[in-house]
Structure 1
Amino acid sequence: MKSINPEDFKVVGKIDLSKLPTNLEIDASDDKKEDKLENVSEKLSELQDVMYAHNRYGVLICLQGMDTSGKDSLIREVFKGFNSRGVVVHSFKTPNSTELEHDYLWRHYLALPEKGKFAIFNRTYYENVLVTRVHPEYILDENLPGIEKVEDITPKFWKKRMKQIKNFEKHLTQNGTIIMKFYLHLSKEEQRQRLLRRLKEGKHNWKFSTGDLKEREHWEEYMKYYQKAINNTATKKNPWYIIPADDKEMARYIVAKIIWEEMQKYTDIKQPEMDDKVKANIDMYKETLEKE
């Protein structure tokens, strides 16, 4: 199976989503991909234990993608070996009334990872420059000064919001949060097939929503605004990773491999050493316990 190089998926500048693949031509069985994922996932869980003890960094995994792109199953399979104390998943839905009484980043601040932990955002603060651009009327719910009607939402508004997001991420990284942003790049045809499976297979019926079909009608708009969001917020320090998502098993492995490879750059993450006083008296402590 071809080796995965994170650099092949990294975006730090301008891209054209229409020219990027949604599938990789890799000659490997699903079992082989699952074995590879199992291996990397196990190493990640061990790394998380060390991170927890080191207690200096938090890791924020941002997952974006169209409906059916595989975010939920990716989270389940990549992070299933983690100790539950070290990873928290947040799925951000439509803001509730309390959240709308604050700025749009507020609820995301509350969910940021503690030091030593992973936080996974299933949909992220980027929804505020994606869904809201396809449906600008949603901005009116934020009750912003100077925004009384959709026509008040100018290109300058979106440019400012992109800058706010970049500054938000810059602030986080400067204070010990490692951010990795993944866009699961799904083809429109593959989405159609997955929606059909939800309707045809009884065990998946519950996943189907008529809202998925309504949003599918805006596919081209979403692609345009995803591209704008990525192009305006991809930096060397906080790049995006564009993951071909038509093959779920492969997408999971690629994401896991990228996380693992990126975390290897933080060579200061090590198991803390035993306190000198404890180390000097370790034989005495062992003897005390053995005599009980």
Structure 2
Amino acid sequence: MVQKEPTSAEAHIATIAGSFERELHKLKVAEGKAANLRKRATAYRGKLFTKDTASGLLDLSVERLSALQDKLYAHNQYGMLICLQAMDAAGKDGAVKHILSGLNPQGVRVTSFKQPSSEELDHDFLWRHYRALPARGEIGIFNRSHYENVLISRVHPEIVLGENLPSINSIADITKEFWAERLHMIRQFENIVVGSGTLVVKFFLHVSKEEQCKRLISRIDDPTKNWKFSVGDVLERAYWDDYLDAYEEAISATSTADSPWYVIPADDKWYARVAMATIIHSHMDSLNLSYPTLSPQQKSALRKARKELLR
């Protein structure tokens, strides 16, 4: 098959993609280092590309992801887990929609974790997340994830009381040591997942309080977005600093070389989407995936099948 030569525009996009991948390391939280969320930008300040250029770059990343997903599925030795966390209205759903647009839905599992059911509360806090993990060959998306157990539960510790845990009879029993132990459990959980052959990549979509306000107002003013609006989102804004503190501690404590956190400036949705797609591609590409090699017996069976079909 003769490959089509890339146009000058496509070649330009490919060149930008290479430079962009090298730039994205700044978004990763190094293991053992503080996330420093309050010092990190929430909007793209670079000059590498514009919103218009980003569209072509996103298309390229999605195309590359599609090719790698096919190999991931055929290889059947690795899986991939992508965890998305953010303040309300940061753009998680839109990111999932755009990044996964070119992928085969049969190999993708998206799970949005809501308030736990009574059955889930009768198990440890990670039980329902174990059950939703992607199989080998699959890409799993946790849209909100196991980290909710150290985020919203930390801002509103009364939630923990509903778990009916031993020795936790009041909010006064939920100490700093309790949260440190829960973060330790999460690190152990992710170590097991990685050790079983699943890549883990975690994104915090870092949106400013001002931009969140604009997006919430848009949900009120635009009839097509009314369904997205929740009064609870407005009430939770009063806890902005508490959430940021919880995110700071959780990300700083759990970003490792094998399951890194990336803090994505999310005031510009177009930037957040292309950054995430490029990072996901980079991690998948590091697996050096290939299609299975057939044995001589399997190749012989294929030749026989071909002859049979041509009879």
TM-score category of the 2 structures, normalised to the smaller one: over 0.9
Alpha-carbon deviations, 1:206-246, whole Å to 9, x = none?
11100000111100110111001011111122211010000
Aligned to 2:157: 136
Q: Secondary structure at the match of 2:292?
A: coil
**Counterpart among 169, 177, 188 of residue 156 in structure 1:** 177
Q: From 7, 28, 46, give the equivalent of 1:10.
A: 28
Sort the Cα spacing of 1:281 and 1:170 in 2 relative to 1 into closer, same or farther, 3 A: closer
* Cα shift readout 1:96-132 (whole Å, capped 9, x = no counterpart): 1111111100000000000000000000000000001
The aligned runs of 1:56-95 (5 Å cut-off) are: 56-95=77-116
Q: Is the 8 A contact 2:68 2:285 kept in 1?
A: no
Q: 2:292 aligns with which of 272, 276, 280?
A: 272
SS of the aligned residue for 2:141 comes to: strand
Equivalent position amino acid for 1:134 in 2: V
Offset, 1:7? 1.1
How many residues are paired up?
A: 290
Task: State the secondary structure of the residue aligned to 2:20.
Answer: coil
Q: Is 1:25 equivalent to 2:45 in the alignment?
A: yes
Q: CA RMSD in A?
A: 1.3
Alignment partner for residue 188 of structure 1, among 209, 225, 236?
Answer: 209
- Supply the distance in 1 between the matched residues of 2:303 and 2:244 (Cα, whole angstroms): 64
Q: Distance in 2 between matches of 1:197 and 1:240?
A: 29
2:141 is the alignment partner of 1:120: yes
The Cα of 1:26 is off from its aligned counterpart by 4.0
| Residue from 228, 232, 244 that aligns with 2:253 | 232
2:224 and 2:121 mapped to 1: Cα distance? Answer: 35
Structure 2: 5+ residue stretches without partners: 1-15
- What is the CA–CA distance in structure 2 between the aligned matches of 1:122 and 1:86, rounded to whole Å? 17
User: Which amino acid in the other structure matches residue 188 of structure 1?
Assistant: K
TM-score by length of 1: 0.96
State the alpha-carbon separation in 2 of the partners of residues 283 and 59 from structure 1: 34
How far apart are the structure 2 equivalents of 1:42 and 1:94? 35
> What amino acid maps onto 1:271 in structure 2?
Y
Question: Residue 70 of structure 2 aligns with which residue?
Answer: 49
2: CA distance, partners of 1:282 / 1:132: 56
**Mean alpha-carbon deviation: is it higher for 21-30 or for 138-147?**
21-30
Q: Hey, what's the Cα distance between the residues in 1 that align with 2:109 and 2:284?
A: 18
The secondary structure found in structure 1 opposite 2:205 is: strand
Could you tell me how far 1:29 is from its partner in structure 2?
4.2
Is the CA contact (8 Å cut-off) linking 2:54 and 2:271 kept in structure 1? yes
Query: Are residues 1:286 and 2:306 paired?
Result: yes
Q: C-alpha distance in 2, partners of 1:30/1:201?
A: 23
Shift of 1:184: 0.3
- Counterpart Cα distance in 2 of 1:210 and 1:48: 39
After superposition, residues 155-174 of structure 1 pair within 5 angstroms as 155-174=176-195
Alignment map for 1:234-249 (pairs within 5 Å): 234-249=255-270
Identity of aligned residues (%): 44
Please identify, of 63-72 and 235-244, the stretch whose mean Cα deviation from structure 2 is larger: 235-244
Contact 2:83 2:141 (C-alpha < 8 Å) held by counterparts: yes
* Contact 2:21–2:282 (8 Å) recurs in 1: no
> Aligned partners of 1:4 and 1:223: how far apart in 2?
27
Distance, in Å, in 1 between the alignment partners of 2:103 and 2:152 is 31
Q: For 1:98, what is the secondary structure of its paired residue? A: helix
SS in 2 for 1:266: coil
- Give the aligned residue type for 1:3: F
